[in-house]
């Protein structure tokens, strides 16, 4: 005997097509409400994010200047509270970004100006020398490239002088110290060039110059000099050895001093004669 199964019809007697339409309608209304809430939360989070960044920055600066004492403890509490609020804001922003992409025309110039204003305010709390606002991104990028290229050329000039003076038997540091007494002499020093800025940006600049029909000779010549670190290192090592020899007395030699006409020296092999000190 088959036992009856008790149950309830949740569709209320509706047809499958009507039930599916009802579910789709409820899902659309739920998604619409979620989008409204996410948009509201995202707007609030964006408004709170900028002043919170300033608050965290000021609290950090206050903590550095306060040293030890009650003022430092207050700065720590402010920074901790601000960081807690910042975490909440980040969570809100993450929730708001889960919604689908909003594709619409955007005023990129206006967005860049707003971003520039925000970054100027944030960096202005830390950088006391002031903020320079370039009129365009291209101007800012070109300025950064020539800053590093200029330093690369200056170092290359000093390295080439060091190579020349080393072959002439002159101390490069002494020559630069004498030249530095002139009021308009720019003081640089020989050295190695590395990293991802000074040794790379000149190539970006010369590549763009080639695209516009100009071959940058000075910039590339500086790169050729600084691209030989072994040569620069050898010159610096040689200069350091000479400076050490001049500053410290020479220890007594264990090699006997022989007269140039001595039979012992005359009969010695050529290699040994080179290391025998003459009177």
pLDDT of 127 reads: 82
Per residue in 175-200, pLDDT (tens digit) is 999 999 999 999 999 888 877 788 89
- Taking residues 150-172, what's their average pLDDT? 92
Is 38 inside any structural domain? yes
Whether the Cβ atoms of residue 223 and residue 156 lie closer than 8 Å to each other: yes
Tell me what pLDDT residue 14 has: 57
Query: 226: closest CA among 194, 196, 201, 204?
Result: 194
Domain contains 113? yes
Q: Is the model more confident about 259 or about 250?
A: 250
Cα–Cα nearest to 161, from 146, 145, 173:
173
**273 domain residue, yes or no:** no
Kindly report which listed range (33-37, 126-130, 139-143, 162-166) carries the lowest average pLDDT score.
Answer: 33-37
Question: What's the confidence (pLDDT) of residue 250?
Answer: 58
> What is the spatial distance between Cα 63 and Cα 76, in angstroms, rounded to a whole number?
7
pLDDT of residue 95: 64
> What are phi and psi for residue 182, nearest 5 degrees?
-80, 140
Q: 3-state DSSP call for residue 252? A: coil
Residue 145 has pLDDT above 50, yes or no: yes
Looking at residue 48, which CATH number applies to its domain?
A: 1.10.287.130
Domain of 75, in residue numbers:
24-99+107-124
44, 170, 187, 240 from 180: Cα distances, Å: 58, 16, 6, 20
Residue 2 has pLDDT above 60, yes or no: no
115, 192: one domain? no
185 shares a domain with 118: no
Residues 173 and 210 in one domain: yes
CATH of the domain at 169: 3.40.50.720
Q: Is the pLDDT of residue 151 over 60?
A: yes
pLDDT value, residue 154: 95
**Residue 261, domain member (yes or no):** no
Helix/strand/coil for 277: coil
Q: What integer pLDDT is reported at residue 206 of this predicted model?
A: 94
- If asked whether residues 180 and 111 sit together in one domain, one would say no
111 — pLDDT class (breaks 50, 70, 90)? confident
**CA distances from residue 152 to 101, 145, 157, 164 in whole angstroms, order as listed:** 45, 11, 9, 18
Same domain, 115 and 149: no
Quote the pLDDT of residue 273: 45
Q: What's the domain count of the chain?
A: 2
pLDDT at 72: 78
Name which of 13-22, 25-34, 61-70, 253-262 the model is least confident about. Answer: 253-262
Residue 276: pLDDT band (50, 70, 90) is very low
Specify the pLDDT at position 165: 92
If you average pLDDT over residues 199-211, what whole number do you get?
Answer: 92
Residues 120, 194, single domain; the answer is no
């Amino acid at each position: 005997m088959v036992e009856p199964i008790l149950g309830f019809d949740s569709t209320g007697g509706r047809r499958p097509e009507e039930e599916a339409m009802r579910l789709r309608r409820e899902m659309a209304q739920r998604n619409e409400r979620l989008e409204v809430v996410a948009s509201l939360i995202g707007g609030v989070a964006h408004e709170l994010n900028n002043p919170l960044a300033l608050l965290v920055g000021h609290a950090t600066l206050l903590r550095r200047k306060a040293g030890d004492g009650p003022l430092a403890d207050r700065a720590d509490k402010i920074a901790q509270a601000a960081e807690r609020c910042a975490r909440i804001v980040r969570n809100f922003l993450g929730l708001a970004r889960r919604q689908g992409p909003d594709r619409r025309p955007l005023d990129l110039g206006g967005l860049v100006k707003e971003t520039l204003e925000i970054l100027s305010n944030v960096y202005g709390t830390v950088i006391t020398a002031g903020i320079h606002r370039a009129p365009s991104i291209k101007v800012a990028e070109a300025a950064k490239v020539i800053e590093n290229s200029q330093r690369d050329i200056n170092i290359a000039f000093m390295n080439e002088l060091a190579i020349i003076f080393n072959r002439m038997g002159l101390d490069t540091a002494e020559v630069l110290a004498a030249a530095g007494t002139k009021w308009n002499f720019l003081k640089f020093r020989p050295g190695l060039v590395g990293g991802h800025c000074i040794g790379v940006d000149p190539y970006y600049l010369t590549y763009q110059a080639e695209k516009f029909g100009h071959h940058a000779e000075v910039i590339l010549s500086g790169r050729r000099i600084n691209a030989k670190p072994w040569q620069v290192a050898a010159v610096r090592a040689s200069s350091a050895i000479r400076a050490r020899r001049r500053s410290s007395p020479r220890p007594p030699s264990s090699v006997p001093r022989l007269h140039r006409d001595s039979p012992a020296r005359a009969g010695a092999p050529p290699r040994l004669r080179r290391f025998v000190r003459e009177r």
